[in-house]
Structure 1
């Protein structure tokens, strides 16, 4: 059958599963009882999870670390980062408006409302999640596009927490597994990378006794404050901090867009390869 979709986006009641030949690679979870949608699981080329829910040594205190997720700590004073804060808001998944399957690529588009603790709508988000698979290596890209449209006069406040966060599997971390963080400037691990600007950042580590996998996060050059400062930790965390030094104001009905690509790869970090892939991403 010509053009048979080997990558398919399969709807479930509370998520969409991106699967290759029926095996789940990525789940886009939008449980209506949760505080936000997120990506889990993310299954690397080895067949093992490369992300996790929560900090490995503080699962309750960091229960807002939901594998791969998006948030912001200060939107008109509302906290869309920590889930247990008294000023916490919610990202409410409304619906999936489009699903596409085609060959080795699939994507969905969804509507997400950002709502304050009093129930007031602050902004609406059009979110696109796509997966593109490399059949020969079992590596893949996760493409994330977010368009925020303000409902009222809005301020994204100055904070290290916003937008995208990634929490890698425990065995991949520098502290617990002997993994490594590497950025586009050749810096390594938290000691060198913390709050430094870079176009991309990679977190790689062991997923079995004899195999490494990793995730490279590319920040698109059209994003605000590119290249961003990076908030990384040797305990398994990385985040491009677009708002570390600034706040951003939106007028009612004004929009803000950001675009990311996550490369889920086999082996250790390959900076030359990542730089080539970043240049390809820049053209999109």
Structure 2
């Protein structure tokens, strides 16, 4: 006799029901996807000759990259899937996109040599991110070392490598020695990304800003934003130069801290 009980899912026709995912888990990944869209749009704009918008898209992707991680931590929505998505997005936004902006803007004058310089930068970014992921999973890494990046971080590398573009926007002639200098500079930034130089991250555990310093800090932040809006390329050039000058002091601070820790 036929049974009156409802039939369960038949093999090959369905399966376990996918559980609903809270919206808070989707938001950080949505920001990451938006960052990928910004980076890829920057590549398109560069090959269309709209270089200022292309650079703006790379900078916008960097801003979204800073936002997605903080959003995930704030919403308690961190996940391994999100971490992998973030790494893949960083390769596109901070490795491929800046290289593809710099090449048609300037490096194409060197033909294959310019393309090799762009490739070296993109590959160095991928290697740097792979090393970062491995080190992040190291349970034996001392806590104090998390306050320092190993090598220039990918977003900073993307902003730094576009310095020849900023200089071009300021009116520097694009012919002559600028293209060879840009190729050498591109390779130098790539080497700094995969180097062992320690770069202060500003994420030291338990780090706090003195209450009396908060107004000064906010004033400096507002001033920087206003300068960026009013004098975008001058400000970016100054920021890049300041960051490069900061690197030796960061490495020295790490060595002193390491010596102090070893002495205990």
TM norm structure 1:
0.24
TM norm structure 2:
0.25
Higher strand share: 1
Larger radius of gyration: 2
